[in-house]
Structures are given as C-alpha cells and as structure tokens.
Structure 1
Amino acid sequence: MNIYIFYTLLSQFIWGLLPLFWLLLHQISPLYTLATRIIWSAALCFVLILQKNLLPELKHTLVDKAQWPYIMGACISITLNWGTFIYAITQGFILQTSLAYFMNPIVVILFGAFLFHEKLEWLQRISIILAAAGVLAAFFLYGQFPYLALTICFSWSFYSMMKKKIRLESQVSVFIESVSMVPFSILFIIYSEYTTIGAYGILHGWEWLLLPMTGIVTAVPMMLFTAGVKGTPFTVSGICMYFSPSMALIIGLCTGETLTTPLLITFICTWIAIALYLLGLFHTMHRMRNNAIKRVTKM
C-alpha cells in the first residue's frame, strides 16, 4: 500500500473514533477542553520537531512572509473547527459532526470554484445544488438549520484549502497553528480555574490524564492527514473522506441520538450529492487517463 494512502486512512480512522474520547470530557466546558487541546498539541509537535531536527525549517518559516497569510488562515479555521467539533460532541450533536464531514468534499469543490476559479463539471454542479437543497429543505419545512454541521464543514474546507498552500513539514505546520493560540488558551484556563468553572473539582484520579491526551489524539491525525494529502490520489482521498463520518454516524446512533426528519432529509440529499461527486471524480480521472494514453500513443 502507498504510504500516503496509509497515512490518510489512519487519520480518518482516528478521527472516526474521536467522539468516544470527547464524550469522556463532556462535564468540562468545551472551550476549556479546546484550550487544553491547543496547549498539549503544541507541546507534542515541538517535541517531534526537536526529534526530527526541524528547528531550521521552523526558524525559516518565521521570516517567510509569503507563508504567513496561509498559516494564519489555517490557524483560525482549525481553531474554529475543533471548538465547534468538541462542542457538538459533548453537547449531544454527534450526528451533525457526521453530516459535516459527509458534506465536506462538496464544499471543497465550491471553495475551489470561488477561490481558485476551478472549472466545475456538470455532475459537480448538481452535487452542490443537491447538498444545498437538503439544508434548505430542512430549514423551510421544519425550521431546523444544521448550523453546527455547516460551521464544522466550512471551517474544515477552508483549512484544507490553506494547507494546500503551506509548504512545510506536517509537524512544523501543526505546531505553528497550535502555538499561535497558546497565550489565549493559557489565559482562558487561568480564568476558568479562578472562577471555578475549570477542571478542578470535576476531574479525579486517572481522568486528569485525559487533558494531555487531547493534544495527542488531535495532533497525530492532523499530522497524518497533512502528510497523506500531499501524495494521495484524489480518487482515493475522495473515498477515504467518508470513513470517519460513517463511524461518527454509527457512534451517534449507538449513543442514543435520534435521526430526526429534517436531519434525515439533509443526510439523504447529501448522500445523493456524494454519489454524483464520486461519479464525476471517476469520470474525470478516466478521461485524464485516456488523454495520457493518447499522448503516449502519438509519440
């Protein structure tokens, strides 16, 4: 198996299991959990940077002004993404997190068209319209809007776009994204503990180990994803993207969440859109392969 495909699959598998981990911290404020995640993620990445002798690259990045707009864009979008994701999991909205990552490839196509002026195939256009129709139908028929799913989806899609522009080792990239938010995280944790809304008095014994684990369980799949996306074919990465939301969907249903009618409508429209997206993806790759064969034959 291609090592990049392995990285991509492993990152999706870990992400698929993450709802089970975050549920262990449901008694703590989602913002407190996010702040803890940021600090420990930065610490882990810095250890890996030292181990792999990547300090020269890190120092070079500090003076590479061309990379910083993309780095800061990635930092803001991933902080929003993880904050919303943790909130959704711990507050009983796991199904919305599943919906978010089912919708993600469709939104990435939309971002590509608007931000990078990429040409959309007719199947891609239909898939975008169907996904949007599912959200609008749920809103107009039942008055329910999956705002958590859309926030997670759009922030992750924007993050993915930024990562395509960042020319850094995965450990360096994730470290910068995390360490940029560390001062705010420390201040929030101090404030939370001072006002007695922190983890003290809630966590006991082994449960304190969950806090440093927040950095590991998020930084590791992030680095795997960053490393894998650079060398995984689009047809493969497109299919791999549905591994983790499928696991989250099962976890959500098993933990007692109900697939309500408006959410079901949105899911069904999204699944049809995904089928069209994958069909268009395979058609595009097949056409590119045939064109390559024709060029070789002419030579």
Structure 2
Amino acid sequence: MQRPAPTSAERERALGTGYGLGAYVLWGVLPLYFVFLAPTGPWEVVGWRVLLSLVFCALLLTATRGWGRMLAVLRNRRLASWTALAGVLIYVNWQAFLIATQSGHVIEVSLGYFINPITTVLLAVVVLRERLRPAQWAAIGIAAVAVVVIVVAYGAVPWISLIVTASFGVYGLVKNRIGPAVDAVSGLALETMWLAPIAVVQLVVVAVTTGITYGSAGVGHTVLLSLAGVATAVPLLLFASGARRVSLTTVGLLQFAAPILQFICGAYILGEPMPTERWIGFGIVWVALVVLTVDMVRNARRSRRLSVRAAEPVV
C-alpha cells in the first residue's frame, strides 16, 4: 500500500528538524575547529571571530537586500539596546568558550550546555515570574546537587560551565524579548557591530603583547581562521530557519546534540580526563535532563490534545 504524500506542514516540520539538527551538530563539533586554530590564542580568535562575522553578515545583507531591515532595527532605540546587550552576552560566551576549548576544558564546556536547558527554566522563574511544574523544580534541584557534587568531589567550582550556561541562558532570554522583530542576520550583524570596537582593541593588545598570528602560520591556517565568521553565522542561520518551523519541544530535544558531541570531542577525541567523580557529576546532570525532557514531552502532548479538543465542533 502506497503511503500518502507528506503534507506541506509535514514537509516544513521535517525541514525545520533538519535545519535545527544541523545547527546543533555544527555547534557540537566547533571545539575541534577552534583547537585546530592553534597557535592562534583565544583572545585573537574572538577578535577575528567578531570582525569576520560582521563582514560575513554585511555580505549576506547585501545579497538579500536586508540593509533596510537592519537600519529599521537600529532606528528603534529599544531594539537597538537589546541587540547591544545580546552582543555583550555572546561576547562573554564566545570568550569563555574559546579559553576553555584551547586550554583543554571542552568537557566543562559540554557540562555548561547540558545544564543550559535547566538554566533557561530557572531564568523563566526568576525573570519572567513563570510558575513551574513539580518535575521542572525537581530537575533544577537535581542539577544543583550535581554542581555541589562536582565542587566537593572534584575539588573545584566548574566556573567555565557556569559562565557558559549563564551567558548563553541570558542571551537566549534577551533574544526571546526581542522576538521576531529582528531577523537572524540583522541581529548578528548588530551584535557584532557593537562588539567591533572591543575586537579591534583586543587585537591591538594581542599584537603588542604576543603578536598577531593571522597570515603568519601558513596558508592552511590562514584559510581556517578566515572562516571564523562563516563558522559563527551558519549555525545561527540554520537554527533560526529551523526554530520557526518546529515546536519548542522539538527544539528542546534537538539542543542535546551539541553538548553530547562536545562531550565526545573532549573525552574521546581530545583525550581530556574523566575521573570517577566527574562521571558521577555528569550522571546526576543527565538524570535531571531526563526528568526535564520527559516532563516537556508529556506537557506538549497534553497541550496538543487540549488544542484538538478545543478545535472540535460542538454538537
């Protein structure tokens, strides 16, 4: 029996899932890309990442005739301020990510992104005053226990993980407040535009102190470093294309691909240590994520059933 052709909505969902998964897979393997950029240090990489992302966005805005959209956002003082704040937050995230990646702490980065869904839920309570379901509170509590276990057993506060999850969590909150008023390309263009002076100063300091490596470490290295803007923008654009085609539940499930791949990169490709106490801490975090994911899926199914019942004609 021949299967019926997929509907337009089904094709859009499949396309959105593909885009979203592509974004998270690229984010998951980015640590390997940044490791390959040695001997370029994290401060220089972030400087070039900001400037090259701005150049790439300028090319995209020209190709898509999007300058008008970006200028309209810039003329709106409230939206422009939100993009400036988003720029500061993503700068902190990028810098922490690069320092960790190039100093052998990719596993700590993955922990930060594993915790990120729980951080997002916590921010919804603290900032947006949302009410949580019991399972969500349980997930937050379990995650807090995991951090305590890591601090006590491993003997150190996982600062990199906490900075990564806090900066990206608040960044997501800011992007939520901006909403669809700013498209992905215009948003990234404005964020990197605000950061451009910081990037220039940063590169000047690097040039004076340790020396700029761009163009001095071989053709292959120069090409790789030149792609920093593309490596930054492409996953973001894939994510934006996918997020508007699928449900938040789907996005929430897809996002686990990034920290899983980062964990694999750190533990099995780069050979970072995973002592027993670290496995215990990660295990507790994964329990919290299972609790959160099961609750998220159940709530989505319940909401879908209620929507179907509400749409049924009253006889």
TM-score category (smaller protein): over 0.9
Equivalent-residue separation in structure 1 for 2:52 and 2:294 (angstroms): 41
Q: Relative to structure 2, which stretch is displaced further, 100-109 or 217-226? A: 217-226
Where structure 1 has 5 or more consecutive residues not aligned to the other structure, the ranges are none
- 1:266–1:73 CA distance, 2 compared to 1 (3 A): farther
Question: TM-score scaled to structure 1, two decimals?
Answer: 0.95
Matched, 1:53 2:62: no
Q: Which position in structure 2 is the counterpart of 1:76?
A: 88
- Paired with 2:79 and 2:169, the residues of 1 have a C-alpha distance of 19
The answer for the alignment partner of 1:120 in structure 2 is 132
SS at match of 1:181: helix
Match of 1:208 among 222, 226, 232: 222
Cα distance per residue 1:213-271 (max 9 Å; x no partner): 11111111122223322332122111101111111111111211111233222211110
Task: Report 1:236-251 matches (<5 A).
Answer: 236-251=250-265
Tell which deviates more after alignment, 267-276 or 203-212.
Answer: 203-212
Matched, 1:176 2:195: no
User: Which 4+ stretches in 1 moved above 6 angstroms?
Assistant: none
Q: Shift of the alpha carbon at 1:47?
A: 0.4
What residue in structure 2 maps to residue 11 of structure 1? 23
Q: Measured at CA, do residues 39 and 201 of structure 1 come closer, stay the same or move farther in structure 2, by a change above 3 Å?
A: closer
Query: 1:248-263 residue pairs with structure 2 within 5 A?
Result: 248-254=262-268, 255-263=270-278
For structure 2, the residue ranges without an aligned partner over 5 or more in a row are: 1-10
Quickly say closer, same or farther: Cα 1:205–1:145, change in 2 above 3 A: same
- One-letter amino acid of the structure 2 residue matched with residue 289 of structure 1: R
1:283 Cα deviation (Å)? 1.6
Cα 1:14–1:270 change in 2 (3 A) is same
Give the secondary structure class of the aligned counterpart of 1:258: coil
Q: CA RMSD in A?
A: 1.7
CA distance in 1, matches of 2:174, 2:277: 32
Query: Which segment is superposed worse, 34-43 or 156-165?
Result: 156-165
Any conservation in 2 of the 1:28–1:202 contact (CA below 8 Å)? no
How is 1:1-299 mapped onto 2 (pairs within 5 angstroms)? 1=11, 2=13, 3-166=15-178, 167-199=181-213, 203-254=217-268, 255-297=270-312, 299=314
| Conservation of the 8 A alpha-carbon contact between 1:174 and 1:223 | no
Deviation at 1:130, TM superposition (A): 0.4
Q: Quote the offset at 1:129 in angstroms.
A: 0.5
Percent of aligned pairs sharing the same letter: 25
Q: Is the 8 A contact 1:103 1:270 kept in 2?
A: yes
CA contact (8 A) 1:12 1:243 kept: yes
